[in-house]
Structure 1
Amino acid sequence: MPSSMPPPPVPRNTSTSSSRVSHSRSTTTPTPSMTSASRAATPSTLHPRGIPSRSGTSLGQHSSYSFTSSSQTPRKRHASTASGRRSRAASSVWGSESHVVICAVSEGRGVSPSVGLAFVNITTNEAVLSQICDSQFYVKTIHKIQMYDPSTILMVDAAFPPNQKSNLLSIIEEELQGTSIEPLSRKYWSENTGLDLIGNLAFKEDYEATKVAIQGNFYATCCFAAAVQYAEFSCHVSIMHHSLRIRYQPSENTMMIDISTIHSLELIQNLQNPKSKDCLFGLLNETLTPMGSRMLRSNILQPSTQADNTLRPRYDALDELTVKEDMFFEIRKALKEFADVEKLLTTLVIVPNQASIYASEQAINQILSIKAFVTAVPKLHEALKTARTDLLTKVRNFCRPELTQPVADLISEAINEDVTIMKTPLDMRNQRTYAVKSGVHGLLDVARQTYKEATDDVHQHLNEIADVHGISAELKFDDKRQYWLRLQRSDFEDQPLPDILINQVTKGTWIECQTLMLVQLNNRIADSTNETIMLSDNVIQKLLDAIRGHVPDLFRVCESIALLDMIASFGQSVTTRDYIRPEISDTLALKGARHPICERVNPERFVPNDVFANNQHRFQIITGCNMSGKSTYIRMISLLQVMAQIGCYVPAQYAVFPIIQQLFVRMSTDDSIEANMSTFSLEMREMAFILRNINGKSLAVIDELGRATSTRDGLAIALAISEALIQSNSLVWFATHFQQLSSILGSRTGVLNLHLSTEVSRQNDDKPKMTMLYKISSGPVKEENYGLGLARVIGFPNEFIRIAEEVSTTLAENIEQKRQNSQSRKLIQRRRLILNLHETLTQLQEPSMDDSARGAYLKRLQNEFVVRMDKIESS
C-alpha cells in the first residue's frame, strides 16, 4: 500500500477480535519537524480519512517515532532545548524512556483563557485530561506540557498560518522547540465524540467517576477526542474497549515546579554527572519495581497539595511501616517478584495487525509474565495482613486474591504449572515450546516430540565429535546462530582444526564454530519450534482474549503495587537515614534540618541548621562569606518542602511545613550560546517569569541575583525585585553579597536579616584565618574583605594579596571621601554654620556690649562666616 494511503483503522464493535489494538507492521521513517515558516509555505494535504498531513507525507510517517516490523516498539526522538540543556525527557513525569505521548491543546477566548489538555500515552495505555484557567502568558499550560514531554502536540488548524497565528501557538513554539506541532481539522475537536470515546474506552468501573470529573470541562473533552482520533488514523492504533486508563487531573491539586527549578534543585538528574544518583530522585529511589520508580518520579515533579486526602495518609502508612519491621521486610520481599506489570498489561491491548511467529512468541511470553504477576500478588496480600492504616488497608483490598484468582484459573487450565518466565534465550524457547498443556492438540504433541528428538540429536552429535576428533567443545545457544560450539584456542596451537568445523570465528582465547550437521539440526529444531508456536497460538489467543476482560482489575492492582512500592521506598530511606515525620501547618519551622543530598555525600561533616518563616518573617535576606553555605542552606529548604509534599519524611529533628502551591528557584549561572542569551538575560527572563506568577501560596529561593551585570545595576535590580517579592506575601529566601540590600530593607515589615557565621582568628604571622561554621545566625554579615580572606586561604601569592588589600583600602577611602564630600554633607555643614551664626547674633542683642565693640565683632564674624562658607563650597 502506498505511503500516502495508510490502512484504515479497525472499526469498533463488540467483537473481541476487532476490539484489539491494531498496529501497522510496515516500517516507517521519522520526518523532521517543520518550522512555522515552512508550515505556512507548504499547503496541507488531506488524509483519505480527513486528517491533514504535511507536504503529502503519510500520517503513518509520524514525525516523532516509527514502528519497526521486528519489535513493535516505538522509538522516540528527543531534541535538546533552546537553552542548551539536556532533553526535557529527563524531567518528564513518564520518564526518559521511549514513551509515545500525543498531546492535544485547545483554548477558549477571554481575559483568563481556559485551556484544555489531553495526553494519550500509547506506550503505557493511559490518558490524562486537564483543564486550566490560565493567564495570557500560558505559564501553567506550558508547565503541564513540559511535565509530560509529548512526542506530538496537536492544535486546531485555525491557529496556524495563513490564519492569524494564535498567541498560545507562538508561546508553545518558543518554549518547546524541538517538539512536533501538528494542525488538526476543527471537526475532530468534538465534545460529543470525546464523551462517546470516554464511554467506550474507559474502564467500566471508572466511567461514572470520570464522567463526573470532566463535567463542564468542554475543552479537555474536545482535546481527548482529537488525541484519540489522531492516534487511530495517524499511528494506526485502535484501543480496545474499556481498556484505557483515563484520569482527570486538576491543576490545583499539585505544586507547580517549572523546568528551571527542576534543573537547579537537581530533582531528577545531577547537573554535573547525569548518571550520578546524587539528586533527589536518586536519593529516594529505593523502589523495587519499575512502576514504583515511575510513580516516585511523577510525585517529585508534581508534589501533592492535598494534606488530608494524600499527605497525611502517606505519613500514617509510612509510620506503620517503620514500626512494624516484620511487615516492612515481607512487603519488600514480595515486591521483588514484580516486573514491569504496567507495560505488560499495555501489551495485552496492542495486537499486531498480521499474524507472525514473532507475535505468537511474544503472546506466550505475555502469558508467562502474567502468570508470574498473578502468582506474586497473593504473597503481597499476605504481607499486608497486619496493616491497619487506611492507605495500606486500601492497597491490601486491591491486592486481594479474588481479583487475580480468575486470571490464575484461566491460565492454569491451559498452561503447564511448572512453566515460568525465563531470561536466557534457550530457556525461553523451551518454556514457549512446552507452555501449553499436553493433550490439548494432537499435532502439538507430535511437534514437541520432534523438537525433543532433534535436541537429543544435537547432544549426541556433540558426543560423536568428541569421540571421533578428540576435541572438547562447549555447546552454546543464542537467538541468531542457535546451537554452536566453543573451543579453547590453546588446544589447537600445535594442530589444525578438523575440517568438520565450519563458520569459524576467533574471539580472544575462544574459537566459535559450527558443523554442517549442527546447522541442519538447528533448522529441524527451528521448524519444529515454529510449528509448536503456531499450533499453540490458537490456545494462547483464546486465553489472552479471556484475560483482557480482567484488565481493569489488573491495572488497579498494578497501581496499588506502585504506590506501595513508593511508600516502602520512603520507609527504606527513613530507617537508614534518620528522617522524621513532618507536620502540616501555616508556618515553616525546621530544627536541625539537613540537606538530604549533601548529607549522603558527607554524612559526618554536614552541619544542621534551623529555619523559621511566617507572615512576620516571610522575606529573609541571607548574607555571608563565600563558601559559607548560603546556597546549600536555601536549596535545603526547597528540597525538604518537596519531600514533605510527596509524603516522605525529612532529615531534621523537628519539621513543620505549609502547603505550597508554587515553587520557584533562581540559581543557575548558565548562559545559552544556542539561544544567543547571556547569563544575565537568562536570569532576567526567569525572574520575569517568577514575578508574573508568584503569590501568597508560593515559595521562592533566589541566589545571587544581579551578579551577572555591573555592581550598580545589579544592586538596583536586586532592590527593585526584592520590593516586588515582599509585596507578593510569598515565602522568600534571598541570598546575596549586596550588603546594602540588608541595610536598606532591614526595617521593612516581614524582612529578616540572617547570615552564615564565620570565625576569624589571627595566625602567628598576624594574618587573619577564616573558619566557616556553616551555621545560620541573626543579622547581616559583619566580616569585611572576606573575599580576600578566602583568596588567601586558597593559596594566592602574598604579593597578589598585598596589592589587592591596598587597592581595597584605597577604594574604601575614596568612597568615604566621596561620602564626606557629597552634596548632602555640604548641605548639613551649611545649615550648621547658619545655625551657629543665628545663635551668635541672638547673643549680640544683649545691651551689655557697647556699640563700637559690637561693630568690630560683627565685622570679624562676617569675615569668618564668608571664609568658612567658601571652604564648604570649594571642598
Structure 2
Amino acid sequence: MMIDLSTIRSLELIQNLQNARSKECLYGLLNQTLTPMGARILKSNLLQPLTDPECLELRYDALSELERMEDIFFAVRQALKAFVDVDRVLTAITVIPTRPSIQHSEHSINNVILLKQYIKSISPVYEALGGTTSVMLREILERCSPGKYVDTEALIDDTINEDITYQSQPLDLRNQRTYAVKAGVNGLLDVARQTYKEANADAFQLVTDLGQTHELALEMKYDTARQYYIRVNASDLEERNLPDVFINVFRKKNMIECQTLDLLKWNQKIVDSHHEVLQMSDQGIQQLIDQIRQNMAPLFKISDAIALLDMIASFAQLVTTQDYCKPELTQALAIKNGRHPIREKIYAEKYVPNDAYATKQKRFQIITGCNMSGKSTYIRSLALMAVMAQIGCFVPASYAAFPIFHQLFARVSMDDCIGANISTFAAEMRETAFILRNVDKRSLIIIDELGRGTSTRDGLSIAIAVAEALVDSGAFVFFATHFRDLPKILAERNGVVNLHLSVDMGEADKMTMLYKVAGGAVQEEHYGLALAKVVDLPPDVVRIAEKVCNQLTANIEKRKKNSRTILQARRRKLILSLREQLVQAQEGNMKGRVLATWMKKLQDEFVNRMATLEVDVAAAAEESEDEQEMEGTNSTTPSRASSHDEQSGSMEWKSEPRYEMTGALQSETGEG
C-alpha cells in the first residue's frame, strides 16, 4: 500500500503530532518487539503495508497460532530477548577498510563476538518453534535449522574462546577484546596479554597503597576517555583537604573524582599493551572474517526470519491483552464494534464502538454531525484498522472484513505551515490535488472538513466538486463535513451513503454526545447554537444568534420539489444495489431452499420499492404539468413514441406492474 507523507503524519502512524517522544501513535501501540530488527521491520510495514492476500493470510494464521499456543508464545518471546542487532553487525563485517587502524581492529573483534552471540541465540528459537503447524512459522523454523549456520559457528569456535560473551560496560568490553582469541595460537600474543594483566594488577595495587597511606576509602573506576581514575566520598574530606598527590580533581554530586601521575603512567602502559594485543589478534580475526563473508547469505536470511517472528510475536502480545479479532479479506469493508486503537488505549473511560459497512454501491459515505461528536475519530479509526489489517495484525473490533487497498489518503489536518508559507486552505487544496491526481478504485480515502478554511460558499462548491470526482473514481471514501447541503445534493448519486453521529438533546440546554453512527444525514439544524448554550456563551449573544439564524433559514429555504432526474437516479441506484446483492449471492454459500427464500424476499422488496418510485414519478409529472399550465408555457408534450423510447431505454415500468429483474439490470448497467 502506498501512503504519502502527509497521511503518515496526520494519522500518527509513526509519531505523535503533539509529542514526538510519546508512544501514543500506531507504531508505539504495536511495538512490543524485543529485537532491533523486529522494530525496523514493523516500521517498514507501517509505512508500506502489504497488498498480497496470500502473505497476509499466512501472517494471520501464524498470529492465531501464537495467540492460541501459550507455551510456544512464551518460549519464543524468551528466546528473542537474547538477540543483538545482527543486521548492523553483518553489514559492518562486509565492509573492508581502505586504511586499517586500531579502532577498526577493536570493532572487528566486537563484531565477531556479537556474531558469536547471535548464532548461539538461534538455537532456542528453533527449539521454541518445534511444535508449530502454521506455514509461516514452519518456514521460520526451517530457516533457523542448525544446518544453515553450523559452518560459521565452527569457524568462530576455532578462533574465539568459548566463554567469551559480549559485554556492554567499557572495562569489560576492553577485557573481552584482549582475551577473545584462544590462547596458544600466537606465543607473542600470550606474552602481550601477560603484560596487560600485570599492568592492570599494578594499577589496582597503586590505588590500594594510596588509600592506606592517606587513610582514605578510595574506589577505582574506569571510563573510555580517562581510563582508570579514583573516586572518594566528599564526606571523608570534610575536616581536611585532599592530598596534593591527587590531580585532575573535580566534584560530581557527593563524590570527588581524581587521578595521580603514577596512575596516568599505568594507564598509558595498559593502553599500549592493549593495542599490542589487538595488533597481534587482528591477523587471525581478519582471516576469520574473510571466511565468514563467504557464508553471509544464510545469516541475513535468518535475521529476516527472526525480525518477522519478532513482529508477529509483538502482535500476539498485543492481541492477547486486548479484545481484537482476526480480519477477513473480502470485496467489502465490514466492521462490527470497531474502535480507535490508539484512543482506546490512552483514555480510561470505555470507548464507544461503531459499525461500518461499505461496498462499491456504498463506497462514498458522508458523515455529518456536530462538533465533538466523534466524526474525525470514526474515520481515522477505519483508516488505522485498514493499515493494521494489511500488516498482518488483528484489529480492535468484534468482526472485521477489508478489501485490499493499494493506496491510502488522508486529508484531516488543519495546521498552517508557517515554514512553507502555506495557509490552512492552501494546504488543504495542495493535499486534495495530490489525492485527485493519484486516486483509483483500489484506494481508501478519509477527508475531514474539506473547504472550511475558506468562505462557506466557496468551501461548499469545492467540497461538492471534489466529492463528485471521488465518487466517479470508484474509491472507498469517508467524507466528514459540516456542510449540511452536501449530503442533500449528493444523496441520489450512485454509491453515496449519508451517515451522522448521534447527539442526545432531550434536556434543555444540554447536549450528550452518543458517539454512535446512525443512518441518514444529520437532522438538527442548529447544533452550533445548542453547543454555544452548553459552554455558557452570554445569553444576549445566544438570543441574537438564534434570531439571525432563523431569519437566514427562512430566506434560504425554498419549496422542495420531486425532480424527475432525482427519481431516475434513485431508480438506477436501486437497480445497481440489487445487482450487487445478486453478485454477492452468486459468490456466497447460500443454496437450495435458503437461497430461494432469500431471492423471493429480495424480489418482493425490489418490487415494492420500485412501485413507490413509480408513484413518485407520476406525482412529479402531474406537478410539472400543473406548473406549466399555470405559467402559460407553450411547451409541447412529448409524443407517445418518444416517451416509449425513453422508457424502453431503461425498463417497461408503465405497462407492466411486475418487474423483470434481469431486464432491468441489462438496461441500467449494460450487462446481462
TM over 0.5: yes
How many Å apart are 1:832 and its aligned residue? 7.2
What is the distance in 2 between the residues matched to 1:836 and 1:335?
84
The aligned amino acid for 2:373 is S
Instruction: Give yes or no for the alignment of 1:303 onto 2:303.
Output: no
Hey, what does 1:751 align to over in structure 2?
496
* Residues 460, 834 of structure 1: alpha-carbon distance in 2 compared, 3 angstrom cutoff: closer
Spell out, residue by residue over 1:814-871, the C-alpha distance to the aligned partner (whole angstroms, 9 max, x if none).
435x889xxxxxxx99x87984999xxxxxxxxxxxxxxxxxxxxxxxxxxxxxxxxx
Equivalent of 1:501 in 238, 246, 252: 246
Equivalent of 1:559 in 304, 309, 329: 304
How many Å apart are 1:354 and its aligned residue? 1.5
**Alignment RMSD:** 2.0
Q: Alignment partner of 2:366: what SS?
A: strand
How many Å apart are 1:527 and its aligned residue? 1.2
Hey, what does 1:258 align to over in structure 2?
4
Hey, what does 1:479 align to over in structure 2?
224
Instruction: Give yes or no for the alignment of 1:417 onto 2:162.
Output: yes
Equivalent of 2:361 in 607, 616, 620: 616
How many Å apart are 1:808 and its aligned residue? 2.2
What is the distance in 2 between the residues matched to 1:584 and 1:603?
32
Hey, what does 2:406 align to over in structure 1?
661
Question: For residues 43-58 of structure 1, what are the structure 2 equivalents within 5 Å?
Answer: none
* Residues 742, 836 of structure 1: alpha-carbon distance in 2 compared, 3 angstrom cutoff: closer
Hey, what does 1:85 align to over in structure 2?
none
Hey, what does 2:139 align to over in structure 1?
394
Q: Alignment partner of 1:352: what SS?
A: coil
What is the distance in 2 between the residues matched to 1:384 and 1:835?
85
Equivalent of 1:741 in 475, 486, 490: 486
CA contact (8 A) 1:415 1:436 kept: yes
What is the distance in 2 between the residues matched to 1:834 and 1:507?
100
What is the distance in 2 between the residues matched to 1:508 and 1:306?
58
How many Å apart are 1:799 and its aligned residue? 3.2
Question: For residues 708-857 of structure 1, what are the structure 2 equivalents within 5 Å?
Answer: 708-762=453-507, 767-816=508-557, 835=630
Instruction: Give yes or no for the alignment of 1:294 onto 2:6.
Output: no
Hey, what does 1:21 align to over in structure 2?
none
Hey, what does 1:214 align to over in structure 2?
none
Spell out, residue by residue over 1:234-259, the C-alpha distance to the aligned partner (whole angstroms, 9 max, x if none).
xxxxxxxxxxxxxxxxxxxxx11111
How many Å apart are 1:689 and its aligned residue? 1.6
What is the distance in 1 between the residues matched to 2:274 and 2:632?
118
Q: Alignment partner of 1:616: what SS?
A: helix
Spell out, residue by residue over 1:496-553, the C-alpha distance to the aligned partner (whole angstroms, 9 max, x if none).
2112211111222211111121111111111111111111111111111111111111
What is the distance in 1 between the residues matched to 2:31 and 2:194?
48
How many Å apart are 1:351 and its aligned residue? 2.5
Runs of at least 4 residues of structure 1 off by over 3 A? 813-816, 831-838
Q: Alignment partner of 1:480: what SS?
A: coil
Spell out, residue by residue over 1:600-653, the C-alpha distance to the aligned partner (whole angstroms, 9 max, x if none).
112532100000011221111100111100011111111111111111110100
Instruction: Give yes or no for the alignment of 1:267 onto 2:13.
Output: yes
Question: For residues 414-453 of structure 1, what are the structure 2 equivalents within 5 Å?
Answer: 414-453=159-198
Q: Alignment partner of 1:483: what SS?
A: strand
Hey, what does 2:651 align to over in structure 1?
none
Spell out, residue by residue over 1:571-604, the C-alpha distance to the aligned partner (whole angstroms, 9 max, x if none).
1111111211000110110000011111111253
CA contact (8 A) 1:377 1:404 kept: no
Q: Alignment partner of 1:354: what SS?
A: coil
Please, what TM-score do these two structures have when normalized by structure 2?
0.82
* Residues 814, 473 of structure 1: alpha-carbon distance in 2 compared, 3 angstrom cutoff: same
Please, which moves more after superposition, 799-808 or 731-740? Answer: 799-808
Instruction: Give yes or no for the alignment of 1:333 onto 2:81.
Output: no
CA contact (8 A) 2:53 2:404 kept: yes
Hey, what does 2:451 align to over in structure 1?
706
The aligned amino acid for 2:145 is R
Spell out, residue by residue over 1:23-69, the C-alpha distance to the aligned partner (whole angstroms, 9 max, x if none).
xxxxxxxxxxxxxxxxxxxxxxxxxxxxxxxxxxxxxxxxxxxxxxx
CA contact (8 A) 1:645 1:659 kept: yes
Higher relative contact order (Cα pairs below 8 Å, separated by 6+ residues): 2
What is the distance in 1 between the residues matched to 2:537 and 2:96?
69
Q: How many residues align?
A: 571
What is the distance in 2 between the residues matched to 1:263 and 1:795?
35
Q: Alignment partner of 1:353: what SS?
A: coil
Please, what TM-score do these two structures have when normalized by structure 1?
0.64
* Residues 609, 833 of structure 1: alpha-carbon distance in 2 compared, 3 angstrom cutoff: closer
CA contact (8 A) 2:386 2:402 kept: yes
Task: Give the share of equivalent positions with the same residue, in percent.
Answer: 54
The aligned amino acid for 1:792 is K
The aligned amino acid for 1:758 is V
The aligned amino acid for 1:521 is W
What is the distance in 1 between the residues matched to 2:397 and 2:329?
15
The aligned amino acid for 1:287 is T
Question: For residues 553-702 of structure 1, what are the structure 2 equivalents within 5 Å?
Answer: 553-602=298-347, 604-702=349-447
How many Å apart are 1:807 and its aligned residue? 2.7
How many Å apart are 1:676 and its aligned residue? 2.9
Q: Alignment partner of 1:576: what SS?
A: coil
The aligned amino acid for 1:356 is S
What is the distance in 1 between the residues matched to 2:335 and 2:123?
42
Equivalent of 1:365 in 97, 110, 128: 110
CA contact (8 A) 2:364 2:478 kept: yes
* Residues 531, 670 of structure 1: alpha-carbon distance in 2 compared, 3 angstrom cutoff: same
Instruction: Give yes or no for the alignment of 1:403 onto 2:144.
Output: no
Q: Alignment partner of 2:511: what SS?
A: strand
Q: Alignment partner of 2:180: what SS?
A: coil
What is the distance in 1 between the residues matched to 2:105 and 2:311?
34
What is the distance in 2 between the residues matched to 1:489 and 1:800?
69
How many Å apart are 1:746 and its aligned residue? 1.1
What is the distance in 2 between the residues matched to 1:744 and 1:333?
59
Hey, what does 1:88 align to over in structure 2?
none
Spell out, residue by residue over 1:712-761, the C-alpha distance to the aligned partner (whole angstroms, 9 max, x if none).
11111111111111111211111111111111111222111110000002
Spell out, residue by residue over 1:200-254, the C-alpha distance to the aligned partner (whole angstroms, 9 max, x if none).
xxxxxxxxxxxxxxxxxxxxxxxxxxxxxxxxxxxxxxxxxxxxxxxxxxxxxxx
The aligned amino acid for 1:783 is E
Higher helix share: 2
Hey, what does 1:106 align to over in structure 2?
none
* Residues 835, 529 of structure 1: alpha-carbon distance in 2 compared, 3 angstrom cutoff: closer
Alignment gaps of 5+ in structure 2 = 561-622, 634-672
Please, which moves more after superposition, 807-816 or 726-735? Answer: 807-816
* Residues 674, 500 of structure 1: alpha-carbon distance in 2 compared, 3 angstrom cutoff: closer
What is the distance in 1 between the residues matched to 2:363 and 2:72?
42
* Residues 807, 538 of structure 1: alpha-carbon distance in 2 compared, 3 angstrom cutoff: same
CA contact (8 A) 2:509 2:534 kept: no
Q: Alignment partner of 2:321: what SS?
A: helix
Hey, what does 1:153 align to over in structure 2?
none
The aligned amino acid for 1:704 is E
CA contact (8 A) 1:270 1:279 kept: yes
Question: For residues 336-355 of structure 1, what are the structure 2 equivalents within 5 Å?
Answer: 336-355=81-100
CA contact (8 A) 1:625 1:787 kept: yes
Question: For residues 307-322 of structure 1, what are the structure 2 equivalents within 5 Å?
Answer: 307-308=53-54, 310-322=55-67
The aligned amino acid for 1:798 is P
How many Å apart are 1:792 and its aligned residue? 2.4
Please, which moves more after superposition, 629-638 or 695-704? Answer: 695-704
What is the distance in 2 between the residues matched to 1:383 and 1:549?
29
CA contact (8 A) 2:208 2:218 kept: no
What is the distance in 2 between the residues matched to 1:676 and 1:428?
51
